[in-house]
Amino acid sequence: MSETPSAPAGQGAAPADRAATRAPELDPGRMRERLAALDPVAAANPAAIRVVRAPGRVNLIGEHTDYNEGFVLPAAIDLEIRIALAPTRDRRVTLTSETTGETASFDLDTIGARTGSWIDYVAGTAWALAEAGVPTRGFRGLLVSSLPRASGLSSSAALELASAWALTGIGGGAIDGMTRARLGQRAENAYVGVNCGLMDQFASSLGVRDAAVLLDCRTLAHRAVPVPLNRYALVVCHTGSSRTLTASQYNARRAQCEAAVAALAGDDPSIRALRDVTPEMLPAVQARVDAETYRRCEHVVFENLRVAATVEALAAGDMGAVGRLFGQSHASLRDLYEVSSPELDALVEIAVETPGVVAARMTGAGFGGCTVNIVERGAVERLSERVRSWYPARTGMAPRVYAVEVVDGAGFVGG
């Protein structure tokens, strides 16, 4: 795969500001006014206020493959985190969440330990940038989000990427988009304490407007994969329940994958990750690990193959094959990796029963959060109506439905 260059500063603001059209609270002018009203430092020089954006992501296919050095196919979406910021001459970061009204701060020279709150993602990013020798600066800021938290749409990665741009300024610290993504991952792994893979930060940093992006998580090669969005829409359905896959559960699944690799590498040192395991090798895996660990491995091995098959099907315009691959992926996540939930299963069942829906599966780490659906544009309202009508009766919960657009990765908003 050829490597896609990172978006230059400001490219993230598409000619039509899709996110601000969807969520007026993300409008850059409004955000500048709100920050100036909140903060005397910002009010003293309103012309210096800038707005940075970082999108969430929906993963079309390739779940729990990233930390196994496999393949993923995410797309950046117009549910976003934005920070309006006024640069300061001191070394302090002060940020107010518009959603909660909470203000948090830290000193760039004495960041300290994590606190267990949302500011950890900002502080962790500052810590990772400093560790890498990237210059940072203080700012006063207002944090605004249209991303539902704990939804599996990568609000944490979006906050890390928005923070990386806010902390380094217009030039982005003279680092490329992949480096910025890896520093966001470093923040989450080593500072926040979640042993995640690279996919979420990659998608938020290097998303491509109107395309998914295929990433090889070993080599970091990546390329845009066109999605026929003129005919089909991406629809995200939120279960109404927060994603409850805890850090310990996530880390436990990763540890199972690593244990299987260690068991196989004793006989074949060329096996560095489950990425290197083929279907023909699964009997050897089964002989060396417990039944639960084997199920995890089986999912990862075949999920990597499903990513490649989905890319081929999209290139061929074979949406029927895409639908079958989505269905296989969801069943595998439910039965083998065991990260689905009754609510996610209900949303997928409703979608596949709806004419015009060509593909449906859970997306994200699991246990709540969202499904991703590829839907004929003329059937989007039909799916929305059915989800809003049928889902509460099946689960007792209230869903949310978003017809999302695919956008560029993080950067400063122009204008």
Catalytic residues: 200
238-257 residues labelled b (16+ CB within 10 A) or e (exposed): bbbbebebeeeebeebbebb
> How far is Cα 137 from Cα 130, in angstroms, rounded to an integer?
11
> How far is Cα 385 from Cα 388, in angstroms, rounded to an integer?
5
**Long-range Cβ pairs for the range 345-352 (8 Å, 24+):** 346/391, 346/394, 346/395, 347/237, 347/239, 347/371, 347/387, 347/391, 347/399, 350/383, 350/386, 350/387, 350/390, 350/391, 350/394, 351/237, 351/383, 351/387, 352/327
Q: How many residues does the chain have?
A: 415
Sort 284 into a burial class: Cβ within 10 Å, 0-12 / 13-18 / 19+.
Answer: middle
> How far is Cα 137 from Cα 123, in angstroms, rounded to an integer?
12
**DSSP H helix total and E strand total for the chain:** 13, 13
The single residue listed with the structure tokens 């009997």 is 283
> How far is Cα 328 from Cα 242, in angstroms, rounded to an integer?
24
> How far is Cα 189 from Cα 211, in angstroms, rounded to an integer?
28
Integer angstrom CA distances of residue 400 from 95, 345, 362: 28, 15, 14
> How far is Cα 28 from Cα 413, in angstroms, rounded to an integer?
7
Query: Which amino acid appears at position 182 of this protein?
Result: R
Integer angstrom CA distances of residue 353 from 236, 347, 358: 16, 10, 10
Residue 368 region, left (φ>0) first, then alpha (ψ -120 to 50), else beta? left
φ, ψ dihedrals at 32, nearest 5°: -60, -40
Query: Which amino acid appears at position 258 of this protein?
Result: E
**Closest to 305 measured CA to CA, from 108, 29, 48, 71:** 71
